C-alpha cells in the first residue's frame, strides 16, 4: 500500500492500484444511492485504460503500474521514453479513443431502440444515456493538454524531444496545476451562483493533485528506469544488447528516437570515415535525455565518458 494508493490486483507484470480519490468518489456514490452509476463509471474507466494497455503492449512497452483516478487512470510504462514520439502519442490517445468509441456505440444503440419503437425494460434508456455521458466526459476531459490527463502526455511526448523529459513534464504539470485551479475556482463560483457545477468543483482539486504528483515523480523517473532495468537483469541473468552506430554530430533526441524497448543499447559514435571514435552507454544517453540535454551531440557525451 502506498501513502495514497492501494494495490488491488496484479496482472502479469502490471500492478493495479486504486488512488484514494477514486475510493472516496466511489464511497460517495454508493452512500448517495448511485451504485449503478459507480458500476458504469468503473467499467468505462476499465475500457478506457484497456486502450492504453493494448496499444502499449503492441508497441513493445511493458506497463508495470496502473493507478485508477476519478478522471481515468495513470499508466506507468517501463522505458516508455524509447517509444518514438508518434508511438508514445498513440498510446496516450488510445484511452480517449476507446471512450469515444464506447460513447458512440451506446448513443447509436440508444437511437436505434428509440427509432424502432422496441419494447425495452424500464431504465434501459437512462442507463445508455449515462454510459454516453460518462464516456463522452472521459473522452473530452482527457484531451485537455495538461498533465495528468492523456492530452498532456501527448504534448509531452513531443515537447520532451526539445527540452527533455523532466522539463517537459514540469511544463505540462504546470499547465495541469493552472487548469485544475481554474476548474476549482469556476466550480465553486458556479455553485455559489446557483449552477450545478459540482463536477468542476470536484475534479479541479483532483487535477491539481495529479499534476503535482506528475511534477514530483518526473525528477525521479530516470533513477526508476535504471532500477527497473537492473531488476530485470537480476531476474533474467541476461538481457539482449544491441549496438547501433550513429554519426558524432547526431543529437541525443535523434538517437533516443531510434531505440526500442526490451533491449539495452550500446551506441557506437562514428566519424566521417565511419571509424568508431568511442562508445556511449544507453544509461549515459538516458541521463542526458531526462536532464534536458536533448540537443547535445553524441561527441559531447563521448568526450565526457572517454577514459583519461
Instruction: Give the pLDDT confidence of 76-108 residue by residue, as tens digits.
Output: 766 554 566 667 788 889 999 999 999 999 988
- HSE, CB side, 13 Å, CA atoms: give it for residue 165: 28
What is the chain's mean pLDDT, rounded? 81
Q: Sign of torsion, CA 221 225 226 230? A: positive
Helix (H/G/I), strand (E/B), else coil: 66: strand
Helix (H/G/I), strand (E/B), else coil: 280: strand
pLDDT band (50, 70, 90) for residue 192 = very high
Instruction: Give the pLDDT confidence of 214-270 residue by residue, as tens digits.
Output: 888 776 665 566 556 666 667 777 777 889 999 999 998 888 877 765 567 899 999
C-beta separation of 276 from 268 below 8 A: yes
The domains found in the chain, sorted by start residue, are: 1-143 (no CATH), 241-305 (3.10.580.10)
pTM of the entire predicted model? 0.70
Instruction: Give the pLDDT confidence of 32-75 residue by residue, as tens digits.
Output: 888 888 888 888 988 998 888 888 888 777 777 888 887 667 77
The CA radius of gyration of the chain, in Å to the nearest whole number, is: 23
C-beta separation of 285 from 226 below 8 A: no
Amino acid at each position: 500500500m502506498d501513502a495514497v494508493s492501494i494495490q488491488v490486483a496484479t496482472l502479469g507484470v502490471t500492478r493495479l492500484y486504486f488512488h484514494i480519490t477514486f475510493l472516496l468518489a466511489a464511497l460517495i456514490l454508493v452512500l448517495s444511492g448511485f451504485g449503478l452509476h459507480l458500476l458504469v463509471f468503473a467499467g468505462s474507466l476499465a475500457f478506457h485504460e484497456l486502450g492504453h494497455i493494448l496499444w502499449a503492449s503492441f508497441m513493445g512497452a511493458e506497463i508495470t503500474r496502473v493507478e485508477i483516478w476519478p478522471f481515468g487512470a495513470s499508466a506507468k510504462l517501463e522505458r516508455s521514453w524509447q517509444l518514438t514520439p508518434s508511438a508514445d502519442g498513440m498510446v496516450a490517445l488510445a484511452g480517449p479513443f476507446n471512450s469515444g468509441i464506447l460513447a458512440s456505440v451506446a448513443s447509436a444503440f440508444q437511437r436505434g431502440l428509440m427509432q424502432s419503437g422496441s419494447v425495452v425494460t424500464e431504465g434501459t434508456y437512462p442507463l445508455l444515456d449515462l454510459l454516453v455521458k460518462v464516456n463522452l466526459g472521459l473522452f473530452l476531459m482527457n484531451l485537455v493538454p495538461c498533465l495528468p490527463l492523456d492530452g498532456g502526455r501527448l504534448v509531452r511526448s513531443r515537447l520532451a524531444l526539445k527540452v527533455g523529459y523532466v522539463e517537459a513534464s514540469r511544463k505540462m504539470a504546470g499547465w495541469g496545476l493552472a487548469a485544475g485551479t481554474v476548474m476549482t475556482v469556476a466550480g465553486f463560483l458556479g455553485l455559489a451562483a446557483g449552477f450545478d457545477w459540482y463536477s468542476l468543483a470536484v475534479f479541479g482539486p483532483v487535477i491539481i493533485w495529479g499534476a503535482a504528483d506528475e511534477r514530483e515523480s518526473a525528477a525521479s523517473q530516470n533513477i526508476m528506469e535504471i532500477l527497473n532495468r537492473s531488476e530485470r537483469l537480476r531476474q533474467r541473468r541476461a538481457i539482449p544488447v544491441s549496438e547501433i552506430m550513429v554519426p558524432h554530430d547526431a543529437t541525443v533526441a535523434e538517437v533516443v528516437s531510434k531505440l526500442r524497448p526490451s533491449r539495452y543499447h550500446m551506441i557506437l559514435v562514428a566519424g566521417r570515415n565511419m571509424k568508431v571514435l568511442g562508445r556511449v552507454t544507453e544509461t549515459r544517453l538516458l541521463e542526458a535525455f531526462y536532464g534536458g540535454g536533448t540537443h547535445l551531440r553524441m561527441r559531447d557525451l563521448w568526450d565526457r565518458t572517454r577514459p583519461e
